[in-house]
Amino acid sequence: MGTIIGVVIGYALGTRAGPEGWDEFKQAWKVIITSDEVRDLLSGSLSLGRDLARRGTEVLTRSVAGPDPGFALPPAA
């Protein structure tokens, strides 16, 4: 994550350096988006998204199907 923040700061400073700064930024960006850190971040995000979608589908299916007839609350004391 620190790398991404560094890129944003570098971009802001690099654009003041003219066309050379812009070229350096583009090269740095290519290195960052192909880094293992970014790949791991994207992989984790996709995995989390799939898990949330699966859980959401389960909740939606249960709400459409209605209450489970085999489920009963324990008696109150």
pLDDT band at 75; cut points 50, 70, 90 = confident
pLDDT band at 21; cut points 50, 70, 90 = confident
Q: What is the 3-state secondary structure (H, E, C) of 1-50?
A: CHHHHHHHHHHHHHHHHCHHHHHHHHHHHHHHHCCHHHHHHHHHHHHHHH
Residue with tokens 């699966």: 54
pLDDT of residue 46: 94
CB 35 within 8 A of CB 10: no
pTM of structure: 0.48
User: pLDDT tens digits for 32-59?
Assistant: 888 898 889 989 999 999 999 999 998 8
Give the mean model confidence (pLDDT) for residues 9-20.
Answer: 68
Q: What whole-number distance in Å separates Cα of residue 44 and Cα of residue 33?
A: 15
